[in-house]
Amino acid sequence: MPLLDRFLKKSDAPAKKPAAKKTTAKKVAAKKAVVADKPAVAGKVDANTLRLLTKPHVSEKAARLADAGTYVFDVPMNAEKVSVRKAVESLYGVNVEAVRIIRTGGKPVRRGKRVTFRQDVKKALVTLKKGQTLSLYEGV
């Protein structure tokens, strides 16, 4: 009875067997696919570089800009142009021509009488030199 288990001594309690983890072929294949989707690292990458580029911003406008050679990344609020340039160049091994930063305030969200705001967002628009591309939006 579960209520009385706490009064039993450790030696009196039935021994529980640890459940063996079963790995299926699907899980192993999924892990390999995730590893393959990571960007090709051109040089040595430190933790600050990985923290700086939070994720690629996926939208219709970002996909159109990618065709023109400009890629959009979500970055932390304390990110600067120079550090974003260095992060993209070291992580993807490309030459960056220009970096533009956009900071947008969170939209108001109404729940009853109370008005709160979504989180502020900072985006970096990274323009690459002619002839260079990134495969960020393929298959999206």
Q: Does residue 118 register a pLDDT over 60? A: yes
Average pLDDT over residues 62-79: 92
Asked if pLDDT for residue 102 goes beyond 60, the answer is yes
Could you give the strand order of the β-sheet that contains 70-75, starting from the edge strand earlier in sequence?
A: 55-56, 70-75, 121-128, 96-104
Kindly list the domain boundaries of the chain, sorted by start residue. Answer: 41-129
Q: Looking at this protein, which amino acid is placed at residue 54?
A: T
| 70-75 and 114-117 strand pairing | unpaired
Query: Over the stretch 4-57, which tens digit does the pLDDT of each residue have?
Result: 666 666 665 556 666 656 656 555 555 544 443 445 555 567 777 888 888 899
41-129, CATH topology level: Alpha-Beta Plaits (3.30.70)
CA distance 74 to 89: 16
Place of tokens 């009853």: 112
Whether 126 shows a pLDDT value over 70: the answer reads yes
Q: Is 116 helix (H, G, I), strand (E, B) or coil?
A: strand
Burial class (CB in 10 A: 0-12, 13-18, 19+), 79: buried
Query: What does pTM read for this prediction?
Result: 0.64
Using 50, 70 and 90 to split pLDDT, how confident is the model at 106? very high
Distances (CA, A) of 85 to 32, 67, 98, 117: 29, 19, 8, 30
The Cα-based distances of 88 to 8, 95, 133 in angstroms read 60, 8, 12
